[in-house]
Amino acid sequence: MKKKFWSKMLSAGMLLSTCLTLQAQQSETGIVFRKDAFTEVLKESARTGKLVFIDCYTSWCAPCKWMEKNVFVNDTAAAYYNNTFINYKIDMEKGEGPALRQRYQVQVFPTYLFLNSKGDLVHKATSRMETAEFVEEGKKALDPKRSLAAMEKAFNNGQRSKENLLSYALALQKSDRNKCDTVTRILMDQLTEADLLTPLGWQVIQAFVWDENEKPGKYFVAHADEYTKKYGAVATGKIQERLLSTALYGLIRKKDSVAFFTRLAPWQQSQDAGVQRKAVMMEAEYYVTTADVKNFVRVTDKGLQGVLQQDDAGLSFLARRSQYLAAGNKGLLQQAYKLAKRAAVIAPNEYSNQGTLARICQELGNKPEALEAAEATCRLSLLETSKIQKIAQKELDEIKQMK
């Protein structure tokens, strides 16, 4: 009897242990980040021969939180990173964070570092990205030809073919904008007109061409039909819109109304609702920048009745822009209020909409509505970062002090 009893107890214990193990494995979904000190992580890297992946974040970084909720928990990303790297994450404003931030020149968040066991930088990338791109960055870190350190070494050793320069510039685009500009300029100086119609030239145009007055931009504009035949109207159209946007902003700064409205006309006459929206936004930008309140009111009222009617993001942006440039102009502030109010009606649970409305009402001296919007902003800020929560609370406290 005793043997049967203990046999049953042993079986039950094994079953319980198995269940607990399965539960533990199920609870550890996503990328598993070590919680050791940085030196211990490097020791583990030396022991296993794996690179260290570090997620550099801050408590207030919204893209960091997006990555944590949408990519780090993804099965594909987790399987690759857990099997390939020693994973580590650290707040760049706490503990060892500030020292590591300075050591690896972390300027934006999130930043992803890939280090060897000596702590040497092998690869670096930044920004929010989808799962496939995030996994690809990990693969680049392991590639002796595609890692950032390898490309930097090749560049410094004079290996500056167009292909090498393009790859290096694309990598730097995600990690060091100043160095990216330097490499891009060297690349642009090498490109011939014949290069610009090749697949390499098309990559350059898509990634780096923003000004129609520079050589690649001029060539693209002059050969738009050829690019359309090779790469399609949609892809070509995106470049054309980007170049036109840059040109229009330049004309706004120059206050060249004749040239501005001549260039804007194709957008205004377009049958595409998205292009019409851009036309209204750009025309509104012209009027608010030139302090033409009458025409700003006219064009934004038109937008409220048309293409911006349900566009809370666009309306809220225009409201913030006009408030910023109002300089106490009541007419502009009143229109900013109208735009912000409509944005808050469309999407009342959007933090930025309520925050914009609160600030404009405060500036107009409308305490009751400012207080209502500020209280809504505070409630919505609880879903945001701690830094945003502090900003919202400060705004509410200021409004409460209004007379």
Tell me which residues are annotated as active site. 61, 64
Tell me the C-alpha distance between 283 and 263, whole Å: 11
What tokens does 239 get?
Answer: 């470049």
Start-to-end CA span in the chain (Å): 86
The dihedral formed by the CA atoms of 115, 108, 81 and 21, expressed in degrees to the nearest 10:
110
Name the pairing type of β-strands 121-126 and 52-57: unpaired
Write b or e for each residue in 278-313: b if 16 or more Cβ atoms lie within 10 A of its Cβ, otherwise e: bbbbbbbbbbbeeeebeebbebbeebbeebbeebbe
On whether the CB atoms of residues 362 and 336 are closer than 8 A, the answer is no
What's at 289, amino acid-wise? Answer: T
Supply 327's token pair: 């300089």
Give kind and range of the element (H or E) at residue 91. Answer: strand 86-91
Residues 6+ apart with CB under 8 A from 355: 373, 374, 377, 392, 395
HSE, side-chain direction, 13 A CA sphere, residue 138: 26
DSSP 170-181: HHHTTT-HHHHH
Pairwise CA distance, residues 223 & 200, whole Å: 16
What φ, ψ does residue 90 adopt, rounded to 5°? -150, 135
CA–CA distances in Å: residue 229 to residues 12, 226, 237, 336: 70, 5, 12, 44
- Which residues are within 8 A (CB) of 255 and not within 5 positions of it... i.e. 6 or more apart? 290
d(Cα 324, Cα 320) in Å, to the nearest integer?
6
CB-CB contact of 85 with 52 (8 Å): yes
